[in-house]
Amino acid sequence: MNLLNFSFKTAIWSAVFLLLILSLLTPLSVLSIFFMMIPGVILYASLPVTSFVFHLLPVAIILVVVNPIFLLLMLILILPAIVIGNAYKKQKSALFAIMTGAGALLAEYLLLLLIGSLIFQFDLSTYIKDMVEIATEPLINSSSQVLYDFVWTPEMTEDVARQTQLMIPFALVVMSMVMAFITHVIARPILSVMGINVPKLPPAREWQMPRSLIWYYFLALIIEVVSKQSDGSYWKMIAMNLSPLINLGFMIQAIGFFFFLSHLKKWNPVLPFFLGALVFFISPLRIVGIIDLAFPLREAISKSKR
């Protein structure tokens, strides 16, 4: 490896980064968007800063030639990748790397929306409404209305658009967390093979949400009641975004409990994965997470096991 630490492996990851960005021109973008930060994380965590910059220069030049807008996309993707890679270099915990990476990505999303609104007069609400109208237009004159005595009205379209707009914060938070999580899950073993020690997430059986989540849950219930009595959209937006985030926390707690129970009872290793998947499809299962968080359920089961 020379002064700038160029090698076949690192050059390959630069090429992968380029191909992932260019994939946004294709239908593959629906999937590839979730893997966009991985090459940047691997390059930053495995290279000195100067060498990292020189690895990105060819990518930037090619993207400018193809379309300058891709250069902006590269910068958007590389910043949270640097945040995660820097956490790896400093041997921070896996959770710290994921949360800071997700936070950086979320901040960029919000900044882009602000810039688009102030400079380019981009109205996200109008855009969402237009997309919903296009998606629901076939339903208005659909023959199924006659067959099933179902009529899709313009008012229903407006209601879907309004609900979608209110859920934007939740969608952005979840999108950021999922992208950061996927990046860590894939980048960590690759870096380990390259000889770079990266802390891993604790086993699923040790996943524990903070007990204060219970109080946030009660707060969300109060806000939900207030939102139903209020005519404004502010409280409705808070209620519609806070409750799903808290429920997501309870789902994670429930998944952790299933893995804990499986480990304790020596169940088939496939069973906790199956139960964990069911949590996302059968919402009442999150009650397991609530009970596990509110009461020392794991301690009680461990004592009875002894």
pLDDT in tens, 107-141: 888 887 777 777 777 777 777 777 777 777 766 66
Answer whether residue 234 shows pLDDT above 70. no
pLDDT of the residue at 1:
42
pLDDT of the residue at 41:
94
CA dihedral 98, 104, 110, 113 (to 10 degrees): -110
Residues 293/252, Cβ–Cβ less than 8 Å = no
pLDDT of the residue at 190:
92
pLDDT of the residue at 3:
44
pLDDT of the residue at 286:
85
- CA dist 119 and 183 (Å) reads 32
| Whole-structure pTM value | 0.80
- CA dist 60 and 57 (Å) reads 5
Query: Greater confidence, 114 or 271?
Result: 271
Angle at which helix 270-281 crosses helix 233-265, to 10 degrees, equals: 160
Residues 192/198, Cβ–Cβ less than 8 Å = yes
Residue 168 corresponds to which tokens in the numbers above? 């934007």
Lowest model confidence (mean pLDDT) among 66-75, 124-133, 187-196, 213-222? 124-133
In this prediction, residues 32-61 reach a mean pLDDT of 91
pLDDT of the residue at 149:
57
Residues 149/82, Cβ–Cβ less than 8 Å = no
Query: With bands split at pLDDT 50, 70 and 90, how would you rate the model's confidence at 88?
Result: very high
CA distances from 79 to 37, 38, 73, 103, 183 (A): 9, 12, 10, 11, 13
Answer whether residue 172 shows pLDDT above 80. yes
Quick one: residue 172, left, alpha or beta (phi over 0 = left, psi -120 to 50 = alpha)?
Answer: alpha
